[in-house]
Structure 1
């Protein structure tokens, strides 16, 4: 009986299977549809792999189909790579798609620009994915821009495999604090605008050496990378005013080496530019620093009579922690914009000497909850250290953001604490009266606050995209101190401000909806 039952079941399975046509695939007839007709892979550097991009291929028919051939137009010689429905390669046969279904194709590339176009600094590399053949052939174009670059990275020991390191000091146990990095050679101490510079690890400027960065240079950092300037070392960043506000062709730009559009405003993709204790005579002009962890870190520089860091006509954006962090620093900042930081746009701690004229500090960070104000001024560090804050003077500056109070203080009585705001637009909304008894927020004290505007929206163009020009209707319009404006007669984009100057790094503009 059991044998008869088994034979009957077997026959039913055979009969049922013979009636199914689920696996009878028809040849494709050139009627495939695609999620896009061209796959644009964002700009990549020579010999550096791209991100992975996807293409969806649709079978809109009611028949299961088989595509006889899917391949790159250049075949196995192509610098593109495919993954078709989970299988890697460059040429594929008999690719099946069920009725009213789809498959994914993933695309990557790694290309050597010298093999593609000798002596070119950039090259538009193209290929195509071909589907089927003959009169049924369909194609999807592939396009990417390959850029040549100067790659700077720590050496790796051929015997041990260990990567070159820099020692930053010792920990409390006396053990060395090491980071992956290397000292720039003398022939590497001038960055030009001919090719982008891509840095892996920390590129160090040695003692009594100067790193000069020419106008139009692009300096790009891999993850956990940056620049570090040693005792008596210096940085001279010589950007110039650009004619195109989008391209910033003459500006010096420090950013991540991820050039894909999706990464253009992602904070924390690289580490920092660190001006260590004893480094000196730093000048940054027409410079953009974006998407780092700490944009600029300045450590224990008293500067003497002259500021250790002069930063003009510059912008620091999208720092995952802090835009500008200075400990006992000496800084002159003019036409400076620092915006969008996970903690504070700027922190001045453990004293120092600071002067900011026509600066905009705006923190509208929305990626996480932020408790710290946009600007922090302190003469302490931790619970035990204090140092004189000789001055922290702000003139014609905007300090604003989402928090009720966007400038904060930390004061130790055993050290000097001197600050002043003059003709500034400030955010200090105090609905619960927490600031009423704090003498540091005594806005009637003219030694601390002179002609300030409180809690009036600056009317920025677009804080989400760091466009911090102000409207003609802004309360900051024509409210600047004229003497300060005469020191900085042009705004960040070259507009004259010698008559009725506005507060902030930009003069007012007419917004599109004000026409």
Structure 2
């Protein structure tokens, strides 16, 4: 009985407290303060939602206040969405803030450029966040740049399923969400950005041509697949502005906000299937993917390439033929360059670095093998050649390359006039012939463990410093290309890596 009596009192107290105001307030007098006077929601693509941005509203007074209205100027028709102190909506009444306290307002948007009053490729969409009315009204501007784009995506069928493509074979099919590019979609221009959902496949005997200055963006778990006898040609050219990269071809994710500009793993990557031929990339940047380029038994030419921020590998090659020059790969969760199951590889004036800090990394910047384990089966193919001339292989680990040879296949490699990080203080690799760094047939004129003095590894800036870099002047003469990735003439002798040394700005 005492228990029931106590419970009744408790219930009465709860009901009484829920029927009273939490605190007595006075009306707002227009003295609110804000963490910013304009909320820039950065740039978004048409029909792709923005990130959520926040605004903090402060009550600096000694009294609890009540704001009669907090609303968007365009009301319910606004393309912005709000959440005021945990409550979603576009118009709010009687918003209370305790003395010397604050509340958060969260803002986001999704915009369809086709419904906006303009025919331009870009449109600046604005609204205002209004606090109170009349003489006490205060406002915060909301600004978003909306970009038009060419959207490519799998077809959705009437039964609710989505178009797929088979990347396996008839005996072992493997379907993924994707679509084949039609003939009228096989040229990407620089007129509008491209946004790809799912995997866009280049069919056999077709060529995808990407013109200079093109921008290709990918939604989560999206990418490009090039099928057997299919071809991709990225025809970037040297840019006049090394920051704007106006002539470069750029592959990246579809989130344009600055907070996503260097986030790995936003899309899958570019995948060359068995037997893809004639592929080439020139003046191209690939960033923020799972794989930069993944290739198996394909032929690719890579010139003036930058690949950054991959959760797995920047370049993962299985028994392929790759010729590369003026390449930079950095910041990969596994190896920046992974060669598996043999093949033919020739790299000149390339910088293979790895300064990954997102998680523990157990792979070196460069790994080379002539084997591949598939289930319980061990496959072995000849490593016909893996030649690194005037290259840099470096990173934030003590050993930045590894070699794994199966004697059932050939294993031919050479590091020539290059700079390599491989520290072996206990001598555990000293009796392994593959790591005999005194062998002039395998390591002619190659230097070890000298600091290359990169300009800024966190910003993927792998220029080397004049007068201090261990890569300066160690290159072999007569090895092209004759200009570095910046377009600067190479010296005699040249420096190793993708860049000739330069004087860094002070401060």
TM-score range, shorter chain: over 0.9
Shift of 1:21: 9.0
Match of 2:161 in 1: 162
Match of 2:464 in 1: 470
Give the Å deviation of 1:93: 1.9
After TM superposition, the structure 1 = structure 2 runs for residues 219-234 of structure 1, keeping only pairs within 5 Å, are 219-234=216-231
* SS state at 1:372 partner: coil
Deviation at residue 501 of structure 1 after TM alignment: 1.2
Q: Is residue 379–residue 410 contact of structure 1 (8 Å, CA) maintained in 2?
A: yes
Instruction: Tell me what 1:281 maps to.
Output: 278
Matched, 1:197 2:194: yes
What are the within-5 Å matches in structure 2 for residues 105-504 of structure 1?
105-158=105-158, 160-169=159-168, 176-301=173-298, 308-382=299-373, 384-472=378-466, 473-484=468-479, 487-504=480-497
Residue 58 of structure 1: CA displacement? 1.1
CA contact (8 A) 1:85 1:105 kept: yes
How many residues are treated as equivalent by the alignment? Answer: 493
1:505 paired to 2:490: no
SS at match of 2:259: helix
CA–CA separation in structure 1 for the residues paired with 2:169 and 2:302: 31
Equivalent-residue separation in structure 2 for 1:108 and 1:291 (angstroms): 23
Cα shift at 1:499: 3.2
Cα shift at 1:213: 0.5
Counterpart CA distance in 2 for 1:482 and 1:66 is: 76
Q: Partners in 1 of 2:412 and 2:488 — Cα distance?
A: 32
Secondary structure class of the residue paired with 2:349: strand
Distance 1:155 1:413 in 2: 48
CA distance in structure 1 between the partners assigned to 2:85 and 2:401 by the alignment: 54
- TM-score normalised by the chain length of structure 2: 0.94
1:32 match: 32
State the TM-score, normalizing by the size of structure 1.
Answer: 0.92
Runs of 4+ in 1 over 6 A off after TM superposition: none
Cα distance in structure 2, aligned partners of 1:58 and 1:118? 37
Deviations 1:333-386 (A, max 9, x none): 000001110010001111100000000001011111111111011111126211
2: distance between equivalents of 1:140 and 1:315? Answer: 40
Deviation at 1:74, TM superposition (A): 2.0
**For structure 1, which segment, 284-293 or 440-449, has the greater mean C-alpha deviation from structure 2 after superposition?**
440-449
- CA distance in structure 2 between the aligned counterparts of 1:390 and 1:233, rounded to whole angstroms: 24
Aligned residues of 1:22 and 1:64 also touching (Cα < 8 A): no
Q: Helix, strand or coil: the match of 1:450? A: coil
Q: CA RMSD of the aligned region, Å?
A: 2.1
Separation of aligned partners in 1, 2:22 and 2:92: 22
- In structure 2, the partner of 1:305 is none
Aligned mates of 1:108, 1:21 — CA distance in 2: 31
Structure 1 position 114, deviation (Å): 2.6
